[in-house]
Amino acid sequence: MNNIAAKLRARRAEARTRRALNRAIDNAATATVRQELIAIAQARQPHMR
């Protein structure tokens, strides 16, 4: 059971991070900041944006 619970927690944490990063990209003040955030997201996980 512990392993399943840990996997669920990790998955939820990853989803939270992905939503926060997407929100930051959407609300970026300038195109340069947006591009930097997208680069960070892509380096972190290739399937993001």
Give the pLDDT band (50/70/90) at residue 16. very high
Give the pLDDT band (50/70/90) at residue 47. low
CA atoms within 13 A on the CB side of 41: 21
Query: Rounded to the nearest 5°, which phi and psi values hold at 41?
Result: -60, -40
pTM, to two decimals: 0.71
DSSP-assigned letters across all residues of the chain: -HHHHHHHHHHHHHHHHHHHHHHHHHT-SSHHHHHHHHHHHHHH-TT--
pLDDT, greater one: 1 or 5? 5
CB neighbours of 24 closer than 8 A, spacing ≥ 6?
37
22-34 pLDDT, tens digit per residue, is 999 999 999 999 9
pLDDT in the model for residue 44? 78
Residue 1 above 70 pLDDT? no
